[in-house]
Structure 1
């Protein structure tokens, strides 16, 4: 069974959504650790997006949370270095799940994002 999942998610390695990333502000200054919130829209629910977002976060060493919203978007809070988060946002834009199709990722750097020790899925 695990090879079935592996085959499914490996198909996504070649998948790339053409969504845009919109940054509402600049990274926080004077800190090594950045925190952000992101809202992802498009075909992002019911396609394994949260699961593969967690996989991408774990691979990059990013902590935070991902959850589905009632309006059909996916919400992410993330914490890591500027480089880690840059790569993570790019993974979100591409759509980490092979069935996802990301239209837009809106990113807001926010020092008030709650610190997490790992990356988890909600709902």
Structure 2
């Protein structure tokens, strides 16, 4: 069995108003990940990805580009042990 990990990602740039959250949710679900994504008041997007390590890393790589109209300035990652289990991948409001 592949190792389960959790990564919280903060993406800055032109990431709100460009379908970043919906596209992230679609991509994470396609990889079978669980967690959430949300807009933050400062204009950035934060996401928590939980699942097999190689799949989490693949979705983080996707986040570096995002959907077509996004423009990523920076991406920060906090790696964590899985401490909470999510039922699915959701958009938090």
Bin the TM-score by the shorter chain.
Answer: over 0.9
Structure 1 residues 35-60: Cα deviation after superposition (integer angstroms, max 9, x where no partner): 11110000000110000000100111
Task: Give the stretch that moved more between structures: 46-55 or 102-111.
Answer: 102-111
> Number of matched residues?
92
Give the structure-1-normalised TM-score.
Answer: 0.71
Does the alignment pair 1:114 with 2:84?
yes
1:78 matched to which residue of 2?
Answer: 49
Q: Which has the higher helix share?
A: 1
Unpaired runs of at least 5, structure 2? none
Which has the larger strand fraction? Answer: 2
In 1, the alpha carbon distance for the partners of 2:19 and 2:64 equals 15
Cα displacement string for residues 11-58 of structure 1 (whole angstroms, at most 9, x for unaligned residues): xxxxxxxxxxxxxxxxxxxx8100111100000001100000001001
8 Å contact 1:77–1:113 — kept in the other structure?
Answer: no
RMSD: 1.4
TM-score, normalised to structure 2, is 0.92
CA contact 2:10–2:46 (8 Å) conserved in 1:
yes
Query: Structure 1, unaligned stretches of length 5 or more?
Result: 1-30
Considering only CA atoms, is the larger Rg found in Structure 1 or Structure 2? 1
Are 1:68 and 2:39 matched, yes or no?
yes
Aligned pair in 2 of structure 1 residues 43, 82: CA closer, same or farther (>3 Å)? same
